[in-house]
Every structure is written in C-alpha cells, then in structure tokens.
Amino acid sequence: MLWKGLPMLICATCAVERDQPVPDICPICADERQYVPEDGQQWLTLDELARTGRQTVLEQNEPGLFAVRTEPKVGIGQTAQLVVTPAGSLLWDPVGYVDDSGVESVLDHGSVIAIAASHPHMFGVQVEWSRRLGNVPVLVAEADRQWLGRSGPNVDYWSGTAAIADGLVLHQVGGHFPGSAVVHWAAGSNGKGVLLTGDSVFPNPDRRTVAFMRSYPNRLPLSGAVALRIAAQLEELEFDRIYGNFNNAIHSGAKDVLHRSAQRHAAWTRGDFDHLT
C-alpha cells in the first residue's frame, strides 16, 4: 500500500525506501546479513538528503554501460549500473537517492525500460526512481517479496529468468538471498558478454577471484555446495567480465575466475586446506 500524504522514508544504514508508517527497526538491517548501528535506527527523507548537497554521478565503464553513484554515498553506498541497449536501458541495483539532475543524466542515454536489484540490500529507492523515470517496471524476485518495503503498481514479480531486452536477461541464482540475481548482458565486453552480479558473485580486491557469502559485513560464508551450484547455474552463459555492486570488477577471463573461485571456496569449506591454518 502507498500511504497518501506521507513521504516515504529511507533507512540511513541500508538506504532502502519504505512506506510509512515505518517499523521501529528496519527489517533488512535487523537480519543476520546486515546490522543496526550501535547508535540506533535513523530514518531519512529525500529532502533531508538533498539538503546535504548530494549529487548523482554517472561514469562510463565501457560502451553501453554506465556506473551510477551518489556522492556522498547514502547507506551501503552501492554503485548502480545503467545498461543501455537499442530497446532501452536497465537501471540495476538502484542507489538510495534520486534527484532531478540524476534522472536527467540517466535519460540522456535513452529511456529506461526496467529497474531491478540483485537482492534486497540493493533495492535503494527503486520505486521512487521508477516514478521519476516515467513509472517504469520495477522487477522484484518473488522469492524476496517479503523484504519489499515500498510497493506500487509498477512492481512486478519474477522467478527463474526474466528477459529485459534482446541479449539482456535476469537469472535467479540464489545464495546470498533466495532471490539473488545476476544480469547477463550478451553485448557487453565487446560482444564477449558481461555479468552484473551484486553480492551473488563478488569480485574480490585481488581482481583474480570472487567470493560467495551469505553476509559480507558479518562474515558468514555460503557452503561449498552452494558456491558450486551458483557456478554451475552460470556455466551456460558466455561472459568475459563481471561487475559487482561497488563497481568492483573482473575485467577479463571472468568465467574461468568464477569456476576456479567456486572450486577454491568448496575446498576451503571441506577442510582441504586445514593444514595451512
């Protein structure tokens, strides 16, 4: 339900929008994958955020793909990705802030045909982005429906796979959340293919491996079996590059990196390397 006459509020910690009246504690942050700060819950409005001088910044990662971030960051501070195709654009992992100049910058690259997030931590202010971009569909994994904090007529639920445009497809892989998803963009990386992965498959700082975690801030790993399952699910796709949700990337050979990382993760969780500890 949309509460008429009441502004939506944004959790200061995860930057996910929520209809009023809001709960005492953000359910997303109270879950074991996230956290409530020691100084307690705080709810913000877009007007309050705007008064702090925030702005939306777009930078090109490669032809047809633009990183979208908020400066200074809001909440988790993810970097969204704008995938531009001849049929229209996908806004992926939308940030927790939106203003008129940000909307204009996004629309400078063409109309947006869908908004989607890899998982609930990345919902941001997705319904508000939709409203300002012309009420475009917001795609939410059915398996993660319970975490949706703000509803609306443009929210559509999906499972398994969902085609956004030709060569641009959502794939539900689970792991971090049951509905965790990736985007396969076939035209990316000069036609070699790109995966946008959120936290499902997380490019590590070494730029040679990826991680598989239930919680990143609280250091909860997924099992080896789940890591191998995710890798197997993505084996059928062709891709050479991976972008995570902070613009962290594996720039080449990403499919092999994913396979080797899943094997390494499974080996560590089996205890194969306990002699090193």
Q: 199-251 pLDDT, tens per residue? A: 999 999 999 999 999 999 999 999 999 999 999 999 999 999 999 999 999 99
Residue 3 belongs to some domain of the structure: no
Q: 33-89 pLDDT, tens per residue? A: 999 999 999 999 999 999 999 999 999 999 999 999 999 999 999 999 999 999 999
Q: Please report the pLDDT score of residue 222 as a whole number.
A: 98
Give me the mean pLDDT over the 89-111 stretch. Answer: 98
Residue 145 belongs to some domain of the structure: yes
Task: Assign residue 237 the CATH number of its domain.
Answer: 3.60.15.10
Residue 161 belongs to some domain of the structure: yes
Give me the mean pLDDT over the 193-204 stretch. Answer: 97
Q: Please report the pLDDT score of residue 173 as a whole number.
A: 98
Q: Is the pLDDT of residue 7 over 90?
A: no
Residue 2 belongs to some domain of the structure: no
Around Cβ 219, how many Cβ atoms within 10 Å? 8
Residue 269 belongs to some domain of the structure: yes
Q: How many domains does the chain have?
A: 1
CA distance to 32, 183, 223, 228, 261, per residue, from 270 (Å): 23, 30, 9, 12, 14
Give me the mean pLDDT over the 163-167 stretch. Answer: 98
Q: 117-162 pLDDT, tens per residue? A: 999 999 999 999 999 999 999 999 999 999 999 998 999 999 999 9
- Whole-structure pTM value: 0.96
Give me the mean pLDDT over the 184-207 stretch. Answer: 97
Residue 4 belongs to some domain of the structure: no
Q: Is the pLDDT of residue 163 over 70?
A: yes
Q: Is the pLDDT of residue 1 over 60?
A: no
For residue 41, give its domain range. 9-46+54-276
Residue 16 belongs to some domain of the structure: yes
131-137 LR contacts (CB < 8 Å, sep 24+): 132/98, 132/100, 132/103, 133/91, 133/103, 133/106, 133/107, 136/112, 137/113
Residue 1 belongs to some domain of the structure: no
- What SS3 state is found at 153? coil
pLDDT > 70: what percent of the chain? 98
Contact between residue 55 and residue 63 where contact means Cβ atoms under 8 Å apart: no
